């Protein structure tokens, strides 16, 4: 199915909002927020701060911690009534580690237009300022909260050959970095805090060095980037392969998942590792 974004069908505009500095918003975004019939926000209070700053008096809907499954029907009904709507999150672009994906999917499925404006997203400036090769990168977003699930996620990214991007809260940052060291070793990391604000701060160094810091301020929105580091052992022995696979199985992975991970570690195909393991 091909949809033309500007064919005068009822449209839901996805409008990025500032991640820090209030001036990090496009002229077009402000125009859309003024012109739409209604603005749907992740948090009405946060949205009102932005609108007040720019003297926009448009109607805001949604309450704090809105339920997308309930609100999507309301949004679809208004689009059917030929209304133009905007969707915003507290900061950044809706749908990227923020609510929005369920509503966007429903609007597309009903044949209405979805137009996403370019704009603020925290991981982009964090990547650019990292100093790493960012030709490719892996965006993980927020890690899962249960320890076992988090450890599983971290093991799965152990052999990524591109920088890995994680969003984290200040209260969980230290624990997350300790988990990274535990599961994948002492890597170079880049931590960007309070991006585009006056107190923007960037740490570049190893995990071991970070954990020894005494003056790091655990405040603000945080982007953690883990540098790639692959240790390929083409001539890994069958005994060592068996040992590694069994270690991952003990951590909760299935045998197939463990074989996949070890094949990446060793730089071998899954078939080769499977044969060595079952020989």
pLDDT digits (tens, 9 = 90+) for 199-212: 999 999 999 999 99
Task: Say how far apart CA 231 and CA 229 lie, in whole Å.
Answer: 7
Q: 139 forms bridges with which residues in the sheet?
A: 165
Task: Say how far apart CA 39 and CA 32 lie, in whole Å.
Answer: 10
When pLDDT is cut at 50, 70 and 90, the band that residue 230 belongs to is low
pLDDT of 241 higher than 90: no
Work out the number of other CB atoms within 10 angstroms of the CB of residue 206.
14
Q: How does 32-67 read in b/e, with b if 16+ C-beta sit within 10 Å? A: bbeebebbbbbbeebbeebbeeeeeeeebbbeeebe
Q: Read off the pLDDT of residues 58-108 as tens digits, 9 standing for 90 and up.
A: 988 874 445 778 889 999 999 999 999 999 999 999 999 888 999 999 999
pTM, two decimals, is 0.80
Burial class (CB in 10 A: 0-12, 13-18, 19+), 161: exposed
Give the H/E segment covering residue 86: strand 85-88
pLDDT of 235 higher than 60: no
Q: List the domains of the chain with CATH numbers.
A: 11-116 (3.40.1010.10), 123-226 (3.30.950.10), 238-278 (no CATH)
Find the mean pLDDT for residues 210-237: 82
* Range from 28-42, 168-182, 190-204, 256-270 carrying the lowest mean pLDDT: 256-270
As a 3-state breakdown, the chain gives helix, strand, coil percent values, each rounded to 5, of: 40, 15, 45
Report the DSSP pairing between strands 222-226 and 188-193. Answer: antiparallel
């Amino acid at each position: 199915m091909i949809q033309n974004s500007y064919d005068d069908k009822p449209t839901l505009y996805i409008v990025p909002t500032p991640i820090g500095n209030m001036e990090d918003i496009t002229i077009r975004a402000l125009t859309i927020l003024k012109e739409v019939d209604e603005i749907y926000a992740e948090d009405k209070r946060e949205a009102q701060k932005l609108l007040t700053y720019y003297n926009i008096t448009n109607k805001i809907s949604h309450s704090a911690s809105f339920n997308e499954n309930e609100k999507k029907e309301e949004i679809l009904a208004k689009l059917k009534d030929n209304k133009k709507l905007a969707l915003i999150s507290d900061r950044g672009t809706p749908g990227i580690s923020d609510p929005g994906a369920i509503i966007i999917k429903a609007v597309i499925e009903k044949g209405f237009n979805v137009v996403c404006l370019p704009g603020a997203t925290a991981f982009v400036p964090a990547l650019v300022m990292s100093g790493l090769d960012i030709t490719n990168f892996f965006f993980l977003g927020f890690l899962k909260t249960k320890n076992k699930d988090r450890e599983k996620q971290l093991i799965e990214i152990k052999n990524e050959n591109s920088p890995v991007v994680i969003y984290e809260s200040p209260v969980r940052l230290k624990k997350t970095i300790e988990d990274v060291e535990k599961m994948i070793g002492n890597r170079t990391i880049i931590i960007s805090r309070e991006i585009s604000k006056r107190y923007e701060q960037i740490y570049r160094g190893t995990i071991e060095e970070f954990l020894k810091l005494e003056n790091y301020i655990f405040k603000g929105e945080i982007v953690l980037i883990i540098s790639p580091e692959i240790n390929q052992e083409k001539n890994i022995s069958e005994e060592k392969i068996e040992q590694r696979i069994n270690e991952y199985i003990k951590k909760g992975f299935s045998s197939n998942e463990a074989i996949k991970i070890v094949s990446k570690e060793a730089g071998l195909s899954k078939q080769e590792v499977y044969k060595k393991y079952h020989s």
